[in-house]
């Protein structure tokens, strides 16, 4: 019983182990192959990239690995600077500032992800604490509001959110506007960082998850802290947050990845290329040079995927545990 897996059901396939390992290896290869293909392709010349031939073993090896010992081409490290240069051609940003456009888009993506994570963690921790630990009138109805927000898919509010990002109407235009339409709040955040971050700085899911976590922490702990003179704020920061670290990690990481990979919204509310993020940039690039010269698109894809893969490899236990738990309730 000490080891949970010690009594795990052993399906007694006689040909067992070997077959199971073969399945795992096959699945593992399938899962990794596109990544391997992406990375290898990003170092190929255009000629090698389009020359894929599996008719014989040497040519198949060469298709994957056109460099020595299977082929004769030198690795094309130049794809990365070339992709950056081609993306620069799509706007005047590089000429005006001297900074590569892709670098700016990298910065945008990182900034949006970091601000979203910080925002979600702070607002959700505070709200979850109030729901778990404090008594106040209207608690039930406000919690129902959070649950309602949890159930509303983003797709439903995409269009009205875009309109809320429009420029506010000035006096005359506002007066001639239909009364009901004039009530729609317009922030003028289109094409700014505010549009990419503020609507995503709170999460009903995060509030719900953290509240569940906080409620498991015994109240006696708070009474003890109270005697030591700690207020709610200090108790939250110094006791609850360290105790609920796994929940914070899961929420933070999922938010980071969601923001890093976000595409739909950014494409709708940004107009200028220097305001866009990596996903949108790659999609635009695929429509132009990246579509014609795939090895350059692969180089951009590697640059987008790499930071997330590194983050994942260092923190994978939080992902796997967090997701596994989410299914069990």
Residues within window 248-267 making contact with other proteins, judged by CB under 8 A:
257, 260-261, 263-264, 267
Please tell me the distance from the alpha carbon of residue 146 to that of residue 128, in angstroms, as a whole number.
Answer: 10
Select the residue interacting with other proteins from 31, 141, 175, 227 (CB under 8 A).
Answer: 31
Q: Residue 227 interacts with other proteins (CB under 8 A)?
A: no
Q: Residue 215 interacts with other proteins (CB under 8 A)?
A: no
Minimum separation from the CB atom of position 123 to other proteins (A): 4
**Residue 238 gets which letter from DSSP?**
I
Please tell me the distance from the alpha carbon of residue 276 to that of residue 112, in angstroms, as a whole number.
Answer: 10
Strands annotated E in the chain:
none
Taking only Cα atoms into account, the Rg of the chain, rounded to an integer number of angstroms, comes to 26
Please tell me the distance from the alpha carbon of residue 43 to that of residue 296, in angstroms, as a whole number.
Answer: 9
Please tell me the distance from the alpha carbon of residue 206 to that of residue 121, in angstroms, as a whole number.
Answer: 8
Q: Residue 93 interacts with other proteins (CB under 8 A)?
A: no
Alpha helix segments (H runs only) across 262-293: 264-269, 278-287, 289-292
Q: Residue 72 interacts with other proteins (CB under 8 A)?
A: no
Minimum separation from the CB atom of position 174 to other proteins (A): 12
Select the residue interacting with other proteins from 2, 18, 30, 96 (CB under 8 A).
Answer: 30
Which CB, 92 or 306, lies closer to other proteins?
306
On whether the CB atoms of residues 129 and 248 are closer than 8 A, the answer is no
Q: Residue 73 interacts with other proteins (CB under 8 A)?
A: no
Q: Residue 213 interacts with other proteins (CB under 8 A)?
A: no
**Residue 4 gets which letter from DSSP?**
G
Select the residue interacting with other proteins from 96, 136, 170, 223 (CB under 8 A).
Answer: 136
Q: Residue 152 interacts with other proteins (CB under 8 A)?
A: yes
Q: Residue 18 interacts with other proteins (CB under 8 A)?
A: no
Q: Residue 309 interacts with other proteins (CB under 8 A)?
A: yes
Select the residue interacting with other proteins from 225, 239, 243, 305 (CB under 8 A).
Answer: 305
On whether the CB atoms of residues 251 and 220 are closer than 8 A, the answer is no
Minimum separation from the CB atom of position 95 to other proteins (A): 27
Q: Which residues within the stretch 114-133 sit at the binding site for other proteins (CB under 8 A)?
A: 122-124, 126-127, 129-131
Beta carbons within 10 angstroms of residue 254's beta carbon: 21
CA angle centred on 280, ends 200 and 185, rounded to 5°: 40
Please tell me the distance from the alpha carbon of residue 251 to that of residue 210, in angstroms, as a whole number.
Answer: 9
Q: Which residues within the stretch 162-191 sit at the binding site for other proteins (CB under 8 A)?
A: 162-164, 177-178, 180-181, 184-185
Q: Residue 21 interacts with other proteins (CB under 8 A)?
A: yes
Q: Residue 283 interacts with other proteins (CB under 8 A)?
A: yes
Select the residue interacting with other proteins from 68, 148, 274, 292 (CB under 8 A).
Answer: 148
Please tell me the distance from the alpha carbon of residue 80 to that of residue 85, in angstroms, as a whole number.
Answer: 9
Kindly determine how many residues on this chain lie close enough to bind other proteins according to the rule CB under 8 A: 110
């Amino acid at each position: 019983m000490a080891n949970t897996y010690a009594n795990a059901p052993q399906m007694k396939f006689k040909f067992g182990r070997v077959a199971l390992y073969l399945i795992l290896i096959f699945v593992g290869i399938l899962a990794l192959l596109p990544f391997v293909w992406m990375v290898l392709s990003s170092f190929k010349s255009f000629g090698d990239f389009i020359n894929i031939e599996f008719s014989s073993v040497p040519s198949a090896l060469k298709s994957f690995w056109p460099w020595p010992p299977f082929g004769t081409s030198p690795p094309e490290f130049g794809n990365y600077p070339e992709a950056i240069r081609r993306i620069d051609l799509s706007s005047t940003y590089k000429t005006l500032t001297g900074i590569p456009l892709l670098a700016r888009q990298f910065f945008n993506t990182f900034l949006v992800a970091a601000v979203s994570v910080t925002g979600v963690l702070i607002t959700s921790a505070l709200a979850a604490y109030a729901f778990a630990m404090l008594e106040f009138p209207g608690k039930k109805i406000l919690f129902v509001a959070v649950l309602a927000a949890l159930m509303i898919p983003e797709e439903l509010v995409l269009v009205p959110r875009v309109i809320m990002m429009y420029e506010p109407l000035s006096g005359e235009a506002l007066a001639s506007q239909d009364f009901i339409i004039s009530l729609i709040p317009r922030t003028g955040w289109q094409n700014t960082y505010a549009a990419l971050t503020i609507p995503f700085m709170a999460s009903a899911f995060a509030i719900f998850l953290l509240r569940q976590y906080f409620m498991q922490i015994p109240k006696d702990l708070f009474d003890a802290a109270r005697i030591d003179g700690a207020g709610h704020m200090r108790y939250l920061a110094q006791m609850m947050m360290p105790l609920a670290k796994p929940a914070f990690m899961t929420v933070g990481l999922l938010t980071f990845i969601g923001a890093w990979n976000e595409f739909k919204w950014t494409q709708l509310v940004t107009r200028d290329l220097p305001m866009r993020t990596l996903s949108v940039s790659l999609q635009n690039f695929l429509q132009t040079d990246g579509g014609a010269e795939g090895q350059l698109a692969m180089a951009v894809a590697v640059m987008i995927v790499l930071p997330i893969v590194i983050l994942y490899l260092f923190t994978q236990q939080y992902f796997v545990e967090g997701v596994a738990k989410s299914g069990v309730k």
